[in-house]
A and B are shown apart, each in its own frame.
Chain A
Amino acid sequence: MTTTTAKISVQGVTKTFDLGRETFTALDNVSLDIADHEFVTVVGPSGCGKSTLMNILAGLETPTSGRALVDGAPVSGPGPERGVIFQQYALFPWLTVRQNVEFGLRTTGVPKRERRSKAEYFIELVGLERFADALPKTLSGGMRQRCAIARAYAVDPSILLMDEPFGALDALTRVKLQEQLLHTWSRDKRTVLFITHDVDEAVFLANRVIVMAARPGRVYDVIDVDPATERNEDFRLSAQFADLRNRVWHSVYHQEGRTAVASVSPSASS
C-alpha cells in the first residue's frame, strides 16, 4: 500500500502475441483501477483480451508493456492473495472435493487440523458437504464449479479472478450460481474481477461493468451499477436492470458493427 489506493491497478498495459509473420495485439494500452471489495465484471466479444487481462493479473502472463499492480506492488507470478477460477473448473480429477479444496492450503503450509476445518467450512459454504469425499467425475458442472470456488476461497485470497466461470453451465444453473456467488461474496467480501461474455450476468453481478472491444483489445466503455442495489430476482426483472442491460448490450453490440473504425474509440479509464 503505497502511492495508489486502488486494490488492483492496471496501467497502460499492452500485450502482443507473436504469431510468426504478424503480431496480435490482445491488449492495447489498457488502464483501469479497481477498489477494494469492488465487484467488477468485464464483458466483451471474443478476442477482446479479457482473458489475457485476467491472466496478467493472475501472474500467468506478463504484459508486453505497462504494468499491473496489486496492492501497489507489481504482479510477478501467481500468489495466494489472488484466487483464480477457471472456466474449465480445473479441479484435480484424482483428488476428492475435500482434497481439492485442501490443495492450496497444503501448498501454503497450513497445518493438517486447520486445513480440515477450513476445507469443511468452505465446502459447506458452497453446499457440497454431502459430496466432500466424491471425485470430480461424479459431480455435475455446477457442482464442480462450486468446488472450484470453495478451493479458491479456502486459501483466503483478497482478490478473486474469475474467467467465465459459469460459461459452460446451463442457464438455470448459471443463475443459481450467480446468486450463490453474490451471497458468498456479501458474507465474505473480496475484490472480484469477473470475466464473462454474458451481458445479463455482467449487469447482475457488478458494481461496475467494463465493456471491452476487440482488435485491438481495449476498454471501450464503463457502466456503473449502484452498489446499494439488492441483487435478487426483483432486480433481474426491474426496469433498472433492463436499462443497464440495454446500455451494456448497446455498448457491446455497437462496437462489433464498427470494428473498422475502432481507432475512434476512447481508451476509457476510470
Chain B
Amino acid sequence: MDPTPPQKEPPMSVLDKQGADRQDPVPDKTRGEPAGAGSTGSDEGGPKNTRGRQPAGRRGLFLALNGVSVLLGIGLWWVLADAGFTLPTPPQVVSRAGTLISNGTLAGDIRASLTRVLIGFALGTAAAVPVGFLMGWYDILRGLIEPWIQFFRTIPPLAIIPLAVVIMGIDETPKIFVIFLAAFLACVVATYQGVVNVDRTLINAARVLGAKDLTIFARVVVPASTPFILVGMRVGLGSAWATLVAAELIAAQKGLGYRIQNAQLYYDLPTIFVGLITIGILGLLMDRALLLAERRLTGWQERR
C-alpha cells in the first residue's frame, strides 16, 4: 500500500559504504524490491532500521564499539608487522604520511584524484539521470538502450582502459572517461528502477487532480524516484572511486593511484599504505556527504 521507497541506509555504520557498493541494482531481478533494501545485508535489517532513532546511550555505545574495532584492527596490524609479515608498522606509515603531507605530494595527489573522480562522477550522474528517466518513461527507449547498458555493465572498466587510451590518447580524457562510465552505469540502472517503481496510484492521483504528463513527471515521478537516484549515486560514487586506481594506471603523473603504482616499483610499502588509507578515508567522506544529502532530500520516506 505504500509507495515502497528504498529503505534508507541506516546511519553511520562503517559497513554502509561497502553495502552500497555491493548492491547491484539489476532492473529485472530486483524489480519491485526497493533498491536500497538489499544493501548491508537483510540479515540484520531489523535492528539496523531503527538504529538512528535509538536513545543516545545505545548510540554512544555503538560509536564506542566502532572506535574499539578500529583500534583493535590497527593493533592487529601492528602485531602482524612486528611478527615479521611484510608490512610496514603504523608508526612507519604515519611518519611517511607526515613526509608526503609536508612536501605537498599528498595534497597534489589528492587534488588530482579528486578532480578526476568528481568530474567523471558528475558527468556520469548528469548523463545517467536523464537517460534513466527516459528509459523508465518510454518503453521504446528502454528497449533500445537497455541491452547496451546491460552489456557494458558486464565489462570491468579496467578492460576498457586500453581501448580508451588508443582512442583518446594518454591525457586526462581516458581516465575521466572510464570513471564516467563506471558512475554512469551504476546510476542509470538505479534511476530507471526508481521511475518504474513509482506508485501507479500516485500517478493516477495526480492525473485526476488535473495534472498533465509534464507536471506528473516533474512533480510526481522526479520526487518519487529521488531515493532511488540517490542510492544510485552512492553506488556510482563507489564504483567511480574504485575505478580511479585503474584509471591512474594510464600514464598518470599524479594521483593516489599513480602514487601507489609508483611506490610498488620501489617496494615502498609505507607509501602504498598511505595511498590506500587516503583512498579509503576520502571514499568514506564522500559517501557520508551523499548520505547526508539523501537524508535531507528523502526524509519524507516512511520507514518500517
Say whether, besides A86-B201, A90-B201, A104 and B300 are in contact (CB < 8 Å). Answer: no
Interface-central residue, A58, A59, A60, A93, by most chain B CB under 10 Å: A93
Say whether, besides A88-B1, A93-B301, A137-B302, A107 and B215 are in contact (CB < 8 Å). Answer: yes
Count of chain B residues with Cβ under 8 Å from any Cβ of A?
25
- A137–B205 CA distance with the chains assembled, in angstroms: 17
- A78–B299 CA distance with the chains assembled, in angstroms: 31
- Provide the residues of chain A in CB contact with B5, threshold 8 Å: 93
Say whether, besides A86-B201, A93-B300, A104 and B209 are in contact (CB < 8 Å). Answer: yes
The reply to whether the CB of A32 lies closer than 8 angstroms to some CB of chain B is no
Q: Which of A140-192 contact B (CB under 8 A)?
A: 151, 155, 168
Beta-carbon contacts of A104-139 to B below 8 Å, as 1s and 0s?
A: 100110000000000000000000000000011100
Count of chain A residues with Cβ under 8 Å from any Cβ of B?
28
The reply to whether the CB of B3 lies closer than 8 angstroms to some CB of chain A is yes
The reply to whether the CB of A79 lies closer than 8 angstroms to some CB of chain B is yes
- A155–B219 CA distance with the chains assembled, in angstroms: 17
Q: Which of B195-243 contact A (CB under 8 A)?
A: 199, 201-202, 204-212, 215, 219-220, 223-224, 226
- Provide the residues of chain A in CB contact with B3, threshold 8 Å: 93
- Provide the residues of chain B in CB contact with A151, threshold 8 Å: 209
Interface-central residue, B206, B208, B215, by most chain A CB under 10 Å: B208
When the two chains form their complex, are residues B207 and A92 in contact, meaning their CB atoms are under 8 A apart?
Answer: no
The reply to whether the CB of A218 lies closer than 8 angstroms to some CB of chain B is no
Min CB distance B191 to A, Å, is 17
Q: Contact partner of B206 among A88, A103, A108, CB < 8 A?
A: A103
The reply to whether the CB of A82 lies closer than 8 angstroms to some CB of chain B is yes
Min CB distance A196 to B, Å, is 17
When the two chains form their complex, are residues B205 and A90 in contact, meaning their CB atoms are under 8 A apart?
Answer: yes
Q: Contact partner of A92 among B1, B210, B220, B302, CB < 8 A?
A: B220
- Provide the residues of chain A in CB contact with B201, threshold 8 Å: 86, 88, 90
Kindly report which residue of chain B lies nearest to residue A80, judged by CB atoms. Answer: B210
When the two chains form their complex, are residues B208 and A83 in contact, meaning their CB atoms are under 8 A apart?
Answer: yes
Min CB distance B98 to A, Å, is 48
When the two chains form their complex, are residues A80 and B209 in contact, meaning their CB atoms are under 8 A apart?
Answer: yes
Min CB distance B300 to A, Å, is 4
Say whether, besides A88-B201, A90-B202, A137-B302, A60 and B210 are in contact (CB < 8 Å). Answer: no
Min CB distance B228 to A, Å, is 13
Min CB distance A26 to B, Å, is 17
Q: Which of B175-205 contact A (CB under 8 A)?
A: 199, 201-202, 204-205
Min CB distance A216 to B, Å, is 24
- A107–B299 CA distance with the chains assembled, in angstroms: 25
When the two chains form their complex, are residues A92 and B208 in contact, meaning their CB atoms are under 8 A apart?
Answer: no
Kindly report which residue of chain B lies nearest to residue A93, judged by CB atoms. Answer: B300
- A84–B202 CA distance with the chains assembled, in angstroms: 12
- A91–B224 CA distance with the chains assembled, in angstroms: 12
When the two chains form their complex, are residues B210 and A79 in contact, meaning their CB atoms are under 8 A apart?
Answer: yes
Kindly report which residue of chain B lies nearest to residue A58, judged by CB atoms. Answer: B208
- A92–B201 CA distance with the chains assembled, in angstroms: 10
- A95–B226 CA distance with the chains assembled, in angstroms: 14
- Provide the residues of chain B in CB contact with A59, threshold 8 Å: 207-208
Q: Which of A44-87 contact B (CB under 8 A)?
A: 58-60, 77-80, 82-84, 86
Say whether, besides A108-B210, A151-B209, A168-B1, A90 and B204 are in contact (CB < 8 Å). Answer: yes
- A90–B204 CA distance with the chains assembled, in angstroms: 9
When the two chains form their complex, are residues B301 and A60 in contact, meaning their CB atoms are under 8 A apart?
Answer: no
Min CB distance A160 to B, Å, is 11
- Provide the residues of chain A in CB contact with B219, threshold 8 Å: 92, 103
Min CB distance B208 to A, Å, is 4
- A226–B30 CA distance with the chains assembled, in angstroms: 53
Kindly report which residue of chain A lies nearest to residue B222, judged by CB atoms. Answer: A94
- Provide the residues of chain B in CB contact with A58, threshold 8 Å: 204, 208
- A151–B209 CA distance with the chains assembled, in angstroms: 9
- Provide the residues of chain A in CB contact with B1, threshold 8 Å: 88, 168
When the two chains form their complex, are residues A78 and B300 in contact, meaning their CB atoms are under 8 A apart?
Answer: no
When the two chains form their complex, are residues A78 and B208 in contact, meaning their CB atoms are under 8 A apart?
Answer: yes
When the two chains form their complex, are residues B302 and A82 in contact, meaning their CB atoms are under 8 A apart?
Answer: no
- A86–B2 CA distance with the chains assembled, in angstroms: 13
Min CB distance B126 to A, Å, is 22
Min CB distance A118 to B, Å, is 13
When the two chains form their complex, are residues A78 and B210 in contact, meaning their CB atoms are under 8 A apart?
Answer: yes
When the two chains form their complex, are residues B208 and A60 in contact, meaning their CB atoms are under 8 A apart?
Answer: yes
- A112–B187 CA distance with the chains assembled, in angstroms: 36
When the two chains form their complex, are residues B204 and A86 in contact, meaning their CB atoms are under 8 A apart?
Answer: yes
Closest 7 CB pairs of A and B: A104-B209, A90-B205, A84-B208, A94-B300, A78-B208, A80-B210, A107-B210
A residues near B (Cβ < 8 Å) are 58-60, 77-80, 82-84, 86, 88, 90-95, 103-104, 107-108, 135-137, 151, 155, 168
Known contacts A79-B210, A151-B209; 5 additional CB pairs below 8 A are: A78-B207, A82-B208, A92-B202, A94-B300, A137-B300
